[in-house]
Amino acid sequence: MALLETIDFPDDLKRLPRADLLPLCDEIRDFLIEQVTATGGHLSSNLGVVELTVALHYVFDIGPERDRLVFDVSHQAYVHKMLTGRRHRFSSLRQTDGLCGFTSQYESEFDLVHVSHAGTSVSTAMGYRLGRMHADRDAGRVVALVGDAGIGAGMAFEALNHAGDRPQDDLLVVLNDNQMSIAASVGALVRSFDKVRASDRWVELKKDIHRALETIPVVGAPLSKWLPRVKEAVQHYMNPGGIFEELGFRYFGPVDGHDVQRLVTKLRDLRDTRGPVLLHVLTQKGHGYEPAQLDPSAYHGVAAQKAAPQHVEPVLVCRPRGQPSPERRDCCRHFGPLLAELAQKDDRIVAITAAMPDGTGLATFEKRHPDRYYDVGICEQHAVAFAGGLALGGARPVAAIYSTFLQRAYDQVVHDVALQSAPVVLCLDRAGIVGGDGMTANGAFDIAYLRPVPGAILMAPADLPELEAMLRFALRTDGLTALRWPKAPYRLAALPQNAAPVRLGRSVILREGEDVALLAYGAMVEPCLEAADLLATQGLSATVVNARFAKPVDGEAFAALACSHELLITVEDHALLGGFGAAVLEALADRGAPLSRVSRIGLPDRFVEHGSRTDLLERYGLSGPRIAARLIGELERVRG
């Protein structure tokens, strides 16, 4: 990798002759495959933008106080990181305290924002440039790089609509068209782009049509009259940029996104083009690596091969020696087949995803019930409002959305579901600490933002049998119901004493004790059981409660526990502000229970960084040993 080793920052790249860019791209691709398969991370998306990222850095003066490159989602920013001083840290990619898997201004001044949500780049890029102008600072050139899936998001269209109405403002949007989000892209806009890919000769054909129409001699008045209309009709049918031109953008392309020399030429042509401009680039997700080309979805995110696995849940329940560890499965792997089975018996059940059929487990549902499965693309707002309409029409919609992505549809949750008393079930995957994806992906706020919604019911299962029971319960419930679970293996068999029927707002006591009471929500039940076992070795007796509900909480039962135990502690894989513990405090205060005996364990008032789930649970006091240690310290405080 002789060329790559000479490049630490963009200025080093610019010193290379253009002839060296192609071999450099080959070296970068080899480096990506070697590093990402070792650490885990997003592979196929980054392989698809090698040439494009190199060309952008070669042409533009990207850096602080200079030109800016804003990535949509930014899971495809690994090459950008390599070219901006972070290549030597790739062995720590997505590891605890290591290199972030997304762009982050906390990591490098070459990154404008920390981002991993789709559809945001055009708004951010436009706002940044205008902000610089208002502050009388050099705005430079600002480039937004967005995929064909992300540009279909409602927010992206809102930004394009705004930017296209300001012809005096310079903005370059690069559309990375690879026909993929994580799975295949969906929607009418994508079908429009497909017209381009239908012929490898599109670019040359477009030139031929324009040339022919402009050189045919005028033969009589009729032809002279109709020729412009013929040209307009041909361009409208063949040109996928028509929609962008109608929005006020000058459209260029499409261009082969793996021809680095042609990309450099085209970007240099556009660098000084004024006003809103969109360059359409055709790429292949996983390009240059056959396994990823054949199955780009599977290689969108790869697990580590050499590093320790990132999401292996520790064995939390203390067991007699020789007893095997309980069999486990990720919730999404269990949820999808379960929902498909329930839908087999109830024709009203429909499933909705926002471009995450595999991540949410709904790919199984799609195969078994394709007529009742809806992938709306990266449009969470539409997904939730659509679910509300389905419910009002008589269906029983289940919308499976990552906790962090549901934040984008909060108004729709309130206005289009809860206010309408629409029976919608929200299944929130990736709740709590997610792991390698970090700050923007940790689902730390869903309890807090859903709890104030009138009529909402919030639940979290402690094991997979309870997930099934809660899903059945939710599908029988009127109004808004939300279930949350983490990206972590759950027990296939029921926890001790956890087989009681699900009853609205009722908790389950899993273990009886006298000294302290642990109120655990969802995934925190098992570490609390481990903590109780550890406390027993210290001569302390602990009650462990599976709370089941964050709204409504089991206030009467919790008040009784607060009065009968020296200490009551709530434990949640969620922000403390507004979370489950806050709900318990409110319920106890309403009932006059002794609040001085109550303490809470959860996530602090900060964005939690990336790292393995196991490491971060330990760091924030949510592992069994840390919970036990906190209880001992709190007991010393209470006893004086």
Secondary structure E strands in 27-158 = 41-42, 68-71, 142-147
Catalytic residue among 86, 129, 285, 396: 285
Instruction: Quick: pLDDT tens for 309-330.
Output: 333 333 333 333 344 457 888 8
User: How far, in Å, CA of 83 to CA of 424, rounded?
Assistant: 46
Whether 285 is catalytic is yes
SS3 category, 143: strand
| pLDDT at residue 513, rounded to an integer | 95
DSSP letter string, 550-573: EES--HHHHHHHHHHSSEEEEEEE
For residue range 10-21, what is the model confidence (pLDDT) as tens digits? 999 999 999 999
422: its two tokens: 């629409």
Element containing residue 357 per DSSP (H, E): none
Note whether 434 and 607 are within 8 A (CB).
Answer: no
132-158 CB burial, b ≥16 within 10 A, e <16: beeeeeebbbbbbbbbbbbbbbebbbe
Catalytic annotation on 225? no
pLDDT band at 564 (very low <50, low <70, confident <90, very high): very high
Give the whole-angstrom CA distance, residue 465 versus residue 334: 10
Residues 509 and 497: beta-carbon distance below 8 Å? yes
Return the pLDDT at 149. 80
Rounded alpha-carbon distances, angstroms, from residue 217 to 205, 220, 227, 230: 20, 9, 10, 14
Kindly list the distances between the CA atom of residue 392 and the CA atoms of 418, 423, 537, 626, in Å, as whole numbers in the listed order: 11, 8, 55, 46
36 neighbors 304 (Cβ within 8 angstroms): no
Query: In 3-state terms, what secondary structure has residue 425?
Result: strand
Indicate if 380 belongs to the active site: yes
Domain covering 508-639 assigned CATH 3.40.50.920 in the classification: yes
pLDDT given for residue 585 in this prediction: 97
343-382 pLDDT per residue, tens: 999 999 999 999 888 889 999 999 999 999 999 888 899 9
C-alpha angle 10/15/20, rounded to 5°? Answer: 100
Buried b (16+ CB within 10 A) or exposed e, 281-308: bbbbbbbbbeebbeebbebbbbebeebe
The beta-strand segments (E) located in 30-94 are: 41-42, 68-71
Task: Give the pairing of strands 481-484 and 425-429.
Answer: parallel
Instruction: Name the one residue in this structure whose structure tokens are 């924030």.
Output: 620
pLDDT, one tens digit per residue, over 406-431 is 999 999 999 999 999 999 999 999 99
Distance from C-alpha of 154 to C-alpha of 230, rounded to nearest angstrom: 33
Whether 4-302 and 328-491 share one fold: the answer is: yes
Length of the chain: 640
Residue pair 52/263 in contact by the 8 Å Cβ criterion: yes
Q: Which residues contact 265 (CB under 8 A, 6 or more apart)?
A: none
Catalytic pick among 396, 408, 484, 613: 408
* Cα radius of gyration (the chain): 27
Residue with tokens 């071999």: 23
Q: Can you tell me the distance from the alpha carbon of 572 to that of 410, in angstroms, rounded to the nearest whole number?
A: 22
**How sure is the predictor about 436, in pLDDT bands with cuts at 50, 70 and 90?**
confident
Given a cut of 60, whether residue 188 has pLDDT beyond it is: no
d(CA 612, CA 621): 14
- What is the domain partition of the chain in residue ranges? 4-302, 328-491, 508-639
Residue with tokens 């020296």: 566
Say if residue 640's pLDDT is above 80: no
Three-state SS for 496-508 is CCCCCCCCCCCCE
How is domain 328-491 classified at the CATH fold level? Rossmann fold (3.40.50)
pLDDT in tens, 480-504: 999 999 998 898 888 888 888 999 9
| Inter-axis angle of helices 260-271 and 50-59, nearest 10 | 40
Q: Is the pLDDT of residue 571 over 60?
A: yes
Query: Which CATH number fits the domain 4-302, given the four candidates 3.40.50.920, 3.40.50.970, 3.40.50.10860, 3.40.50.10300?
Result: 3.40.50.970
Token pair for 101: 């898997």
Global pTM reads 0.80
Q: Which residue is catalytic, options 51, 366, 380, 526?
A: 380
Task: State how far the Cα of 559 lies from the Cα of 595, in Å rounded to an integer.
Answer: 10
Confidence of residue 116 (pLDDT cuts 50, 70, 90): confident
Is pLDDT at 550 greater than 90 in this prediction?
yes
Q: In Å, what is the CA distance from 497 to each residue of 247, 521, 568?
A: 60, 15, 20
φ, ψ of residue 255 in degrees (nearest 5): -125, 145
Residue 181 has pLDDT above 80, yes or no: no
SS3 for 373?
strand
What 3-state class would DSSP assign to 576? coil
What tens digit of pLDDT does each residue of 462-474 get? 999 999 999 999 9
H or E element in which residue 455 lies: none
**Residue 73 CB coordination number (10 Å):** 26
* Strand, coil or helix: 588: helix
Question: Are β-strands 276-282 and 171-177 bridged in parallel, bridged antiparallel, or unpaired?
Answer: parallel
Give the strand order in the sheet containing 373-375.
Answer: 373-375, 349-353, 396-402, 425-429, 481-484, 457-459, 549-551
What is the distance between the alpha carbons of residues 574 and 562, in angstroms, rounded to a whole number?
Answer: 22
pLDDT computed for residue 1 by the predictor:
59
In this structure, what is the dihedral angle of CA atoms 382, 77, 309, 620, given to the nearest 10 degrees? -70
What is the end-to-end Cα distance of the chain in Å, rounded? Answer: 64
What is the per-residue pLDDT for 470?
96
- In this predicted model, which residue has the larger pLDDT, 624 or 637? 624
- Give residues with Cβ within 8 angstroms of 536, minimum separation 6: 542
**pLDDT exceeds cutoff 70 at 236:** no
Instruction: Quote the strand ranges of 12-153, DSSP E.
Output: 41-42, 68-71, 142-147
Query: CA-to-CA distance for 619 and 316, rounded, in angstroms?
Result: 16
CA-nearest of 628, 562, 570 to 596 is 562
- pLDDT-derived band at 233 (thresholds 50, 70, 90) equals very low
| Strand 349-353 to 373-375 pairing | parallel
The whole-number pLDDT of residue 151 equals 86
